[in-house]
Amino acid sequence: MKPVATLLITLLFAPVLLAGRREVLVDDKADFTRIKTFLIREGQATTTRPELSNSLFLANISEAIRRQLSAKGLTESPDRPDVMVSFTIGQDRPHGPSVVFDRGTLVIEMIARESAASIWHGVYTDETSAPAKVAEKMPANVQSLLSQFPPKRTKRP
């Protein structure tokens, strides 16, 4: 009976254990209610893996970010946007004379035009997948990360 219970518990928590990690840092002084427009800068791949380091994949990530921000009521504006959005994808680590794909890391950063300061910084890390799987899951990872934008305000005493 014990192996069956262990299997059931493992299956129950498998999605949580296999899920990626997301971390968001926010400038608590920024007024996110004033952000109405954005511009997405060209994305960067910090990996040599061809599944992630190509212009078509980076364009797909840009489009996923665009869809999420537009769904939140923001408008893309090339002329004087409220925030500039930049992103990087992938992470390799040195392994002797070569590099090894370590994990799929997506970093999205929003910089306020007025102050040129970073006001929102999100990191989604998928440590369980091969590069091809990371590429396949990335639009959903963008959605998961941007689900925390704009940040919810906590009431201050």
> For the chain, which domains are there?
20-146 (3.30.160.670)
Nearest CA-CA partner of 138 in 101, 103, 99, 96: 103
Percent of the chain predicted with pLDDT > 90: 61
Token pair, residue 128, equals 């369980």
Q: Determine contact, residues 111/136, Cβ cutoff 8 Å.
A: no
4, with CB counted inside 10 A (0-12, 13-18, 19+), is exposed
Judged by DSSP in three states, 109 sits in strand
Asked if pLDDT for residue 94 goes beyond 80, the answer is no
Q: Give the mean pLDDT of 64-76.
A: 98
Encode pLDDT of 98-117 as tens digits.
766 667 889 999 999 999 99
69, with CB counted inside 10 A (0-12, 13-18, 19+), is buried
Encode pLDDT of 115-142 as tens digits.
999 999 999 998 777 888 888 999 999 9
Asked if pLDDT for residue 86 goes beyond 80, the answer is yes
Tell me which of 11 and 74 has the higher pLDDT: 74
Nearest CA-CA partner of 69 in 42, 36, 43, 44: 36
